[in-house]
Amino acid sequence: MEKVVDIIDSIAHGKNLDVENVTKAIKTAIINTAKKILGNELEFDVEINKQSKKADVFQKVTVV
């Protein structure tokens, strides 16, 4: 997911919203989509790198 930071900035400025709120909403949407596709019982996290302008999705697992 390249250039996700540009998309977030564009949405925030176009709708006059706080960038952090838009970022949280995008992260939630990505996590919900991953759960819908891969399984609701799985745990995911999204990291957005502002320098590379990319978003990475990670599946959380418990190792015992």
pLDDT of residue 61: 93
Residue 63 DSSP symbol: -
pTM of the model: 0.84
Secondary structure string (H, E, C) spanning 9-57: HHHHHHHCCCHHHHHHHHHHHHHHHHHHHHCCCCEEEEEEECCCCEEEE
Confidence of residue 1 (pLDDT cuts 50, 70, 90): low
Q: Give per-residue pLDDT as tens, 36-57.
A: 999 999 999 999 998 998 999 9
Domains plus CATH for the chain?
A: 4-60 (3.30.1480.10)
pLDDT of residue 3: 87
Residues whose CB falls within 8 Å of the CB of residue 47, separated by 6 or more in sequence, listed in order:
55, 56, 58
